[in-house]
Every structure is written in C-alpha cells, then in structure tokens.
Amino acid sequence: MADRPSGFVVAVVDDDQGILRSLEILLESADYAVRLFTSGTELLESGRLPEVDCLISDIDMPGMDGFELLRTVHAARPGLPIILITGYPDTLKRLPPLGGSTPRFFTKPFQGPELLAAVSDGLRQPRG
Amino acid sequence: MFNRDAVVREEQHFILSTLPPSATQKWLAAAVVAGIFVVFASITFGPLSGVHLRRVDAFVPAYVTAMFVCDAITAILLYVQFSIVRSRSTLVIASGYLFTALILIPFALVFPDAFAPGNLVGGLQSTSFLWLSQHAGFSVFVVAYALLKDEDPGKRLWQGTVGGGIALSAAATVAIVLLAALVCIAGDPLLPRVATDSLHFSPLWPYFIGAPVALLSLSALVVLWIRRRSVLDLWLMVVMWLYLIEVALSYYPDPQRFSVGWYTVRVIGFLSSSLVLIVLLHEISTLYARLLGAVLAQRREREARLMTGDAVAASIAHELRQPLTAMVTTADAGFRFLDRPLPNLDRAKEAFERIAADGHRAGDLIGTIRANFKSEVRERTSFQLGELIDEALALARSDLQKHGILVHTEPGRQLPEVRGNRVQLQQVLLNLIVNEIDAMAAKDEPRVLSVRSEAYDGDRVVVSVADTGTGIGSQDADRIFNPLFTTKSDGMGMGLSICRAIVEAHEGRLWFAPNTPQGAVFQFTLHTSGPASAAG
C-alpha cells in the first residue's frame, strides 16, 4: 500500500489468499490504495468502512457470504460502488433481493482490464 | 456344508433349468401331490367309488386337442431354454414334451368311436398301447434328462449349433412317434389282449400297460429325487407322481373307459401336461420382472455414479479456478506495470514471481487430487489367497466364537497367487464374513461359515463365502448392492456396494447365490498374477 496518487481506497474481501494478493497487485497497478480482508466480518469490525471508496467482494465465503455483506454495507453506505465476484457461475442464477443496490458481477477467472474499468466506472458515479 | 454346485455362474441364476425352487414352490408341489392322492383315495375307496358317469364321445377329441396345445407350447419354451443354456438335458426334456404332443395324434385317431363309429385306424388294442407308448416314452425322456443334467460341462453342453440340435432332436422324436404309431396300429392283431371291447380293459392290462408305465415313472421319480436341484426337477417329479396315480386310477376301481376313474385320469393327465407349462410361464414372467428391476437398478446406479462424477469434477474445477484466476489477474497487473511511459520493473518482476507461485499451487492441487483418487488402488501386490482368508477369519474370530459359529475352510490346492490391493481385498472378505455372521446370529443352529477358493475360468480364481443364515429374500435380491440398502437396523448400507466397487476396480465380479439347504453364498473373482507364478 504505497502512495495513493488516485486518492481512492478499494477494499477487497475474499477467503482465498491467492485471489486477494492478485487483486491487490492489479489494483495497485492502477494506482488505487488497497485494503485486504479475508471475510466480511473482518471488514465490518476493522472500522475502515467509512474510508472505502469501492468494495470488491467474493460471494461464496464461509460465514457471512457476499450477498449478506452487500446488504449490510448498503445499509451503512448507500451508493458505495460494489463489485461481486464468484467462482461458481451458477451462483448468479440464485440472486437474492439486494435491497436497491446494483452491484456489478464478475465470474472467475475475469479479465483484469474489465474489472479495473468497472472500478473506475463505479468511482465516477455521483454519490447517493 | 458346501453344496457341490455352490460355485454357479451368476448368469445361470436366471435360467429355469438351473434355478433352485423356492420354499413356496416346494410347499405347493407337496400340496399338489397330497391333493391328488386324496382324489385318488376318494375315488377308489371313498364316496365317489360308486358314481357312474355318461359316456361322452366328444370328450376325447377336446381333451386330446387341449393336451396337444399344452405339450407343444411347453416343448417350444423348453427348446428356447435350450437355445440359451445349450445343455443336452434341456434338449432331451424338450424332445420329451414334443413326443407326448405328437403321439396324441395317432392316439386320437385310434380311439374307438372318437371321430366315427368303431376304430378309424388300428384295432382294439392300439389305443391302450399308444397310451403306454406316451407315458412310458415320456418317463424314459425324464430319466435321460435327470441322468444328463449333472454331467461335467464338457459333456453336459451341446457342442453343435442350436438349430442343428433342435432339428436333430425333433427329427428323432418324430421318427420315434411314427415307429410307435406303426407298431401300435399295424401290429394290433399281434398285441396282447388288454382291452376286451371298446370300453373294458382285460385282466392283462395291469401287466402289459400298467406295470411298465408305473415302473418307468417310479424310476424317473427316484432318479429325479436323487439329483433334484432345480424348479424344473421339482415339477417333473410331481408329473411323475401324477403318472403313477393315472396308472392306478385307470384300472381301479373300474377297469373301463368313461368311468369316474377314467375321467379323473384325463383331468390328471391334463394337469400333468399343463403343470410344467404353468410353472414355466410363471417363472418367465417373474424372471422378466426381476430382470427389469435389475436393469432399472443398474441404470440408477450409473446415473448416481455420473452425478458423483459431476460433483467431483465441479469441485476440482473450483479448486483450480482460484489459482488460475489469481494468475490471470496478476499477469494483467504485470502487464500494466510494464505498459507505462516509465515501466515499474520491480513490481512487474513481483507479478511474475507471484504467477510462478500460483502455477506451482495449481500443480500441487492436481497432485493432491490424483493422490486421493489413485494411490490406494495402485498399490497392488501378488499374494496367496489362503493367507488373506486366514487373516480375515482371525479378525472376525471373536464374533465367530461369540455366536458359536463353526468355520469350515477349503483353501484351493496349488492355486496361483492373486494380484490386487491386499488391504482393500481383506476389507471385502471381512465385510462379507461379518455380514454372514449377522445373518446367522439371527437364527438357530446349525451355524456354519464356509470359505473356500478355487480356480475359475483359466486365469481367475473365485472366492466363496457361504453361510447357513437367513438367506436373501427374493425381494431384496435386486437391491442388496445398492449403496443405501440395508436389512440391518444399525447398518449404514454401504458395505456390499463398496465391496462390489472394490472387486470391480480389480476387474473382478461380486455376486451371490442361495446356499443349500439354507443361507447365502457370496462369491467374487480375482485375477491371478499370471501364468508365470502358477507354481507359487
């Protein structure tokens, strides 16, 4: 987490260390500041949610899953851009009601440039 | 303990001439035998002895036609059985039924007043001697059948083509029928006077007609009793018993045609003719239902296996997708660090290092998966089956002693070593033994567990584990290998299906057969290490 020339902070939640580290280096290559969390609970308990500008979260995690995290974060930070990623394409077929938020979805393995484009799109949106 | 035929090929469990009779069938046969005896007694000594019935000439053609149809269909069904099992005994008994059917034609023609007043062909004696030919002839066919059926495979099986066998036996049967008809019709003036007129039998009848038929059917009954084994044997014995009653009723109490006894003999004759047919039809439909059940179970098993396969594939895909995603994402990052006006070489290098690490992680995953699925089965050694059996019995010893079970082992002499995963095969053997202990624990004495091994089909050996327990009900026979089936209240139901999977992974087969007189025999085959080690 070096300098933060872009000034934006992106939080990444995934229970897989390999995925976390790869997203960290990808986001840093686009000059974002990155915060890594291995679970939704860890993010919520860290107290860092207010400084986050964009959230990327895995869906299929033990304990609190991506959908639950999304609902909790949406209640605390409505309008925060959220991107969900999943290893199981079938997960997207059983989407629960997401309470008004409109996350972007990516299936692993995803294209790095597309994910970065989604992040910058989310950051450009007017805050609600 | 061990029936001589305990080692039966599993495909033969579906063939009637080898299928053992169920307890119900035995009771039914005993009931028919006793019932017919009651009928005989009540006609000879009882209330029916004084009854006189009207002479109905049309009865004969109707009766002969019905008998002909029954016997012909039975013959056809037995010929079909022959075409499957190719055993010479089945060919002989099929010919026997063809014989009784065909000889009814001259019998009807010579019967006095059946089609026209007087005899159409032949003389007064022809009818009785054709009846003799039919009954004595069929008894001889039954004796031949009983003598042929236990030969060793080399002699037992018909070596020629199926069509040739059927054509030859049918031609021989037709020739015998023609010869019998010729003797009985053309030779009428020379034959002993067993009939005094078209209705009454003379005192010579018991000597020339009754005694030969009774003797032959009694010998057939005895030979069948000694060698009884199959459903077909059981019902042929009943038929031979009916023949004996027919002989007695034909002469006592009223030695004449169209008496109560005579009509009863026709009814019994029709019964004996249709008995085997009814049993054949019943067994064929039962076997059809059983086969259908087996096919459906197999299909379900295959689907279950595919589902398991899908689940395994999905889990492998997910495991591999994580490192692959990390690699692709990190590669994108590395590219971005290089594709700058001022490339950040340090961070690009870091990206490449991470990609290599993720690649190794994926490789390790594949290695782990392969180890989980393969390593155990791959560990195959050559060993003596006898040792494996002794070890399994030693592991079960306390259970065997607790239930007072006698153990009887017959290790195959000079059996070659077998090849396989020793631990897994010991589990199979132990599982079968424990199952059989449980089957016997629920029962009174005798409790005997027999384990034996012997050569099977050249390069294989077969291991048999037999008990004297409760056996396996026909309703369970189709499902005992299903993964979730169990008859035990505390069973998990995985035992036999896992046993079968292990044996099949060794390119062997696992099946079961009923043990005689009670219990079940489980058998499985294994490959030997090869001809080179045959001396071991």
The DSSP call for residue B433 is H
Q: Is the peptide bond before B517 cis (omega within 30 degrees of 0)?
A: yes
Angle at B221 between CA B216 and CA B225, to 5 degrees: 150
Task: Give B346-355 contacts, CB < 8 A, sequence gap 24+.
Answer: B347/A25, B347/A28, B347/A29, B350/A25, B351/A25, B354/A21, B354/A22, B354/A25, B354/B326, B354/B330, B355/B327, B355/B330, B355/B331
Per-residue b/e over B378-387, b at no fewer than 16 CB within 10 Å?
eebeebebee
Instruction: Assign B532 a pLDDT band (cuts: 50, 70, 90).
Output: very low
pLDDT of residue B376: 52
Residues of B in contact with A18 (CB under 8 A): 322-323, 325-326, 358, 361
What is the pLDDT, as a whole number, of residue B523? 92
Task: Say what the pLDDT of residue B434 is.
Answer: 83
Q: How confident is the model at residue A98 (pLDDT cuts 50, 70, 90)?
A: low
CA of A128 to nearest chain B CA: how many angstroms apart?
30
Residue B142 to residues A9, B82, B240, B251, B272, Cα–Cα distance (Å): 97, 15, 9, 24, 13
Residues B399-408 have a mean pLDDT of 84
Q: CA-to-CA distance for B503 and B421, rounded, in angstroms?
A: 10
Judge contact between A43 and A77, C-beta under 8 A.
no
For chain A, give the longest Cα–Cα distance. 40
- pTM exceeds 0.90 for this model: no
What is the pLDDT at residue B4? 36
Q: What's the confidence (pLDDT) of residue A52?
A: 94
Question: Under an 8 A CB cutoff, do B354 and A22 touch?
Answer: yes
**Residue of higher predicted confidence among A24 and B282:** A24
- Interchain CB distance below 8 Å, B322 and A25: no
- Name the amino acid, one letter, at B497: S
Rounded mean pLDDT, B157-171? 91
Beta carbons of B60 and B111 less than 8 angstroms apart = yes
The b-or-e profile of B141-155 (16+ CB within 10 A means b, else e) is bbbbbbebbeeeeee
Residue B300's nearest CA partner among B292, B111, B367 is B292
Measuring CA to CA, which residue among B247, B235, B234, B217 is closest to residue B272?
B235
B457 token code pair:
């089909």
Give chain A's mean pLDDT: 85
Tell me, what's the pLDDT at B347? 93
* Residue B158 in this model has a pLDDT that exceeds 60: yes
Beta pairing class for B460-466 and B520-527:
antiparallel
Closest CA to B286 of B106, B25, B1: B25
Mean pLDDT of chain B: 83
Q: What's the mean pLDDT in B3-19?
A: 50
- The yes-or-no verdict on residue B308 having pLDDT over 90 is no
Map residue B400 onto helix, strand or coil: helix
Q: What is the band of B446 on the pLDDT scale with cuts at 50, 70, 90?
A: confident
Contacts of A115 in chain B (CB under 8 A): 329
What pLDDT is attached to residue A30? 92
- Examine the pLDDT at B3 and tell me if it is beyond 50: no
ipTM entry: 0.87
**Nearest by CB: B351 against A25, A87, A108:** A25
Best to test chain A binding among B321, B332, B346 (most A CBs inside 10 Å): B332
pLDDT at B533: 41
Q: Evaluate if residue B458 carries a pLDDT over 80.
A: no
pLDDT, residue B478, reads 64
Residues in B closer than 8 angstroms to A23, CB to CB, are 329
- The band of A2, judged by pLDDT with boundaries at 50, 70 and 90, is very low
Q: In what order do the strands lie in the sheet with A104-107?
A: A33-37, A9-13, A54-58, A82-86, A104-107
Which tens digit of pLDDT belongs to each residue from B20-59? 888 888 999 999 999 999 988 888 887 777 777 888 888 9
Is residue B251 over pLDDT 60? yes
| Residue B489: predicted pLDDT | 43
Residue A87 and residue B330: Cβ atoms within 8 Å?
Answer: no
Sign of the Cα pseudo-torsion (B528, B530, B531, B534, in order): negative
| More confidently predicted of B415 and B249 | B249
Structure confidence at residue B366 (pLDDT) = 79
pLDDT band at B6 (very low <50, low <70, confident <90, very high): very low
Q: Bridge-partner residues for A106, per DSSP?
A: A85
Closest of B93, B20, B27, B104 to residue B66, by C-alpha = B104
Q: Please report which confidence band the pLDDT of residue B475 belongs to, taking 50, 70 and 90 as the band edges.
A: low
Helices (H) and strands (E) in chain A, counts: 4, 5
pLDDT given at position B437: 85
pLDDT given at position A100: 66
- For residue B446, say if its preceding peptide bond is cis, omega within 30 degrees of 0: yes
Could you tell me which residue, A21 or B85, shows the higher pLDDT? Answer: A21
Length in residues, chain A: 128
The arithmetic mean of pLDDT across residues B1-19, rounded, is 49
Distance CA B44, CA B36 (A): 12
Give yes or no for a contact between B518 and B469, defined as CB atoms under 8 angstroms apart: yes
DSSP string, B188-232: GGGS---BSSSSBBPTTHIIIIIHHHHHHHHHHHHHHHHT--SHH
B361 closest CA partner among B323, B327, B328, B329: B323
B214: left (phi over 0), alpha (psi -120 to 50) or beta: alpha
Q: What is the pLDDT of residues B338-355, one digit of tens each?
A: 998 989 999 999 999 999
Q: How far is B367 from chain A (nearest CA, A)?
A: 18
Secondary structure class of B525 (helix, strand, coil): strand
Distance, CA of B18 to CA of B233 (rounded, Å): 9
Q: Is the pLDDT assigned to residue B319 strictly greater than 80?
A: no
The minimum CA-CA distance between A71 and chain B, rounded to whole Å, is 25
> Comparing A88-92, B331-335, B420-424, which segment has the lowest mean pLDDT?
A88-92
Token pair 């002839």 is at which residue? Answer: B137
Pairing mode of beta strands A82-86, A104-107 = parallel
Whether the predicted pLDDT of B536 surpasses 50: no
Confidence class of residue B10 from pLDDT cuts 50, 70 and 90?
Answer: very low
Residue-level pLDDT at B391: 82
Q: Please state the rounded mean pLDDT for residues A30-39.
A: 93
d(CA B311, CA B290): 31
Report d(CA A82, CA A54) in Å as an integer. 6
Which pLDDT tens digit goes with each residue over B254-281?
A: 888 888 888 888 898 898 889 889 988 9
> Comparing A84-88, B97-101, B382-386, B515-519, which segment has the lowest mean pLDDT?
B515-519
pLDDT digits (tens, 9 = 90+) for B209-218: 999 999 999 9
Tokens of B467: 């008990």
Q: Which amino acid is at B23?
A: A
Token pair for residue B85? 């099992």
CB atoms within 10 A of CB B446: 13
The pLDDT of residue B451 is above 70: yes
**Of all residues in chain B, what percent carry a pLDDT higher than 70?**
86
